[in-house]
Amino acid sequence: MVFKFGGASVKDADAVRNMTGIIKNNDGNILVVISAMGKTTNSLERMVNLFVQGETNELQSEFATIKKYHLNIIQELFDREDHPVYADIIQMFGELERKLNKAPSMSFDHDYDQIICFGELLSTKIVTHYLQFQQVAAEWKDVRFSIKTDNTYREARVQWDMTRELVNQHFQFDNNRILVTQGFLGSTIDNITTTLGREGSDYTGAVLAHVLHAEKLVIWKDVPGVLNADPKWFDDTVLLSELSYRDAIELAYYGASIIHPKTIKPLQNKNIDLHVKSFIHPEREGTVISNVEYEKLVPSFIFKIDQVLIRISPEDFSFIAEDNLQTIFGVLSENRVKINLMQNSALRFILCINNDERKLPKIIDALKSNFNVTYETGLELITIRYFDESTVERVMVNKELIMEHRDKKNIQLIVKNMAN
Ligand code: ASP
Ligand code: MG
């Protein structure tokens, strides 16, 4: 089986001890996929920005903070000061420092991946050493030798044939070992590090489970399983104990942040169950995602804040036609923007996207060279799957409706929050 542990499950020494307990309590071959510790990836992201902007002083202080954070964790975990984990971790930080002392390249995305990867490299090293220290026969694997991708840095696409061959070659469970490897990372055919998109470790777990025909993938989280809403928005959430692949894909697609959207398909294709479980209560069942069938499920709610609605119309008052749409989609795909909702009418095309500060001005400018464009920020997008009228009423309190889209199972509402 494949176990995936996210950032929260390795955020401090106690968390690492807890995950070690979970591994010890499970028999059989386990491939452990781990994310960066706690909020390390966010901190590395800040470092990438400072590196590219040449803000050396702030960069050094961020570097010192994250180094200290990792060293503190190992000091708590390993009583011996001469434990080999220290040399390994200090060497990794030395490597990171050398990269930061070079000049940035012309590609932000390339540099991003070369720096951001240290989060997972560090966490897996520390965990592997700790498992060994606890008498678990664990082995560290560099996933970059096995997951091959194209060179779309920050959003790399897996090259399945090569990956299949290399994973089977490198991940062999002889001698009853526990294998530990990094989520989120891959590399190009010429071995340049790539990443699979933020929160991509779930997807790594699915890719490896798929290739190795794993019995199941377990994603360990700080929530009881998949809930019908984010507890941040609702205090009476319900645990969905069973979920079909289809519903899981739809919920993830609409933005339920519980599982990375790309995770389900590789599992579904091989009929591998996905368990989402609490690392705080590992004895509880959590959610099982499989090929179950049912008619209906309790309504699920997905909230996305900070949305932008862009209204586009041709400058010459002509209709929105295929050639216009081609131009619009061209701009979006060049900027790698995901459309959360769109609506087409004779004279206007409307789309809703996340407000990304770096991308929005570029998109608006590009669209303005061909169309009349207006846009509105600060909106919210609410999706309800298996909706009914009472659920719609419930979410519309204090909201002004800007646009709505419904089909048989889903309703999507773009709203302005009047409470703001
Ligand atoms: N550490 C990466 C991130 O925070 C990947 C992951 O956690 O899945 O985005
Ligand atoms: Mg993470």
Q: Of 214, 246, 280, which closes a domain? A: 214
Lowest-pLDDT range, 83-87, 258-262, 268-272, 302-306? 258-262
Model pLDDT, residue 318: 79
Question: How far is the CA of 67 from the CAs of 5, 130, 323, in angstroms?
Answer: 21, 18, 52
Q: Is residue 204 part of a domain?
A: yes
Gap between the Cα atoms of 199 and 184, Å rounded: 7
Here the CATH number for the domain that contains residue 110 is 3.40.1160.10
State the distance from the centre of ligand 1 to the C-alpha of 205, rounded, in angstroms.
Answer: 12
**Boundaries of domain holding 341:** 300-417
Output the average pLDDT for the chain: 95
Per DSSP, what are the bridge partners of residue 179? 31, 139
Q: Is residue 144 part of a domain?
A: yes
Average pLDDT for 101-130: 97
Residue nearest to atom 8 of ligand 1 (CA): 199
State the distance from the centre of ligand 2 to the C-alpha of 206, rounded, in angstroms.
Answer: 16
Phi, psi dihedral angles at 317 (to 5 degrees): 60, 20
Q: Is residue 333 part of a domain?
A: yes
Same domain as 23, residue 158: yes
Same domain as 305, residue 174: no
Angle at 160 between CA 242 and CA 128, to 5 degrees: 70
* Interval 356-396: pLDDT, tens: 988 999 999 999 999 999 999 999 999 999 999 999 999 99
Same domain as 169, residue 39: yes
Q: Which residues, judged by CB distance below 6 Å to any ligand atom, belong to the binding site of ligand 1?
A: 6-7, 35-36, 41, 119, 183-184, 198-201
Q: Is residue 292 part of a domain?
A: no
Residues measured by CB to lie within 5 Å of ligand 2, the ion: 7, 35
Here the CATH number for the domain that contains residue 337 is 3.30.2130.10
Same domain as 304, residue 210: no
Q: Of 214, 235, 268, which closes a domain? A: 214
Q: Of 168, 194, 214, which closes a domain? A: 214
Phi, psi dihedral angles at 297 (to 5 degrees): -135, 160
Residue nearest to atom 6 of ligand 1 (CA): 199
Same domain as 310, residue 200: no
Query: Pick from 245, 239, 280: which is nearest to 263 by CA?
Result: 245
Q: Is residue 407 part of a domain?
A: yes
Q: Is residue 345 part of a domain?
A: yes
Model pLDDT, residue 320: 79
Angle at 317 between CA 311 and CA 322, to 5 degrees: 70
Against a cut of 0.85, is the pTM above it?
A: yes
Q: Is residue 377 part of a domain?
A: yes
> When comparing pLDDT for 25 and 235, which is higher?
25
Q: Is residue 284 part of a domain?
A: no
State the distance from the centre of ligand 2 to the C-alpha of 7, rounded, in angstroms.
Answer: 5
Contact 62, 43 (CB under 8 A): yes
Average pLDDT for 34-43: 98
Q: State the total domains in the chain.
A: 2
What DSSP line would sit under 226-276, residue for residue?
-BSS-TTT-SS--B--EEEHHHHHHHHHTT-TTS-GGGHHHHHHTT-EEEE
- What are the start-end ranges of the E strands in 315-348? 339-344
- Give the position of tokens 């990792």: 70
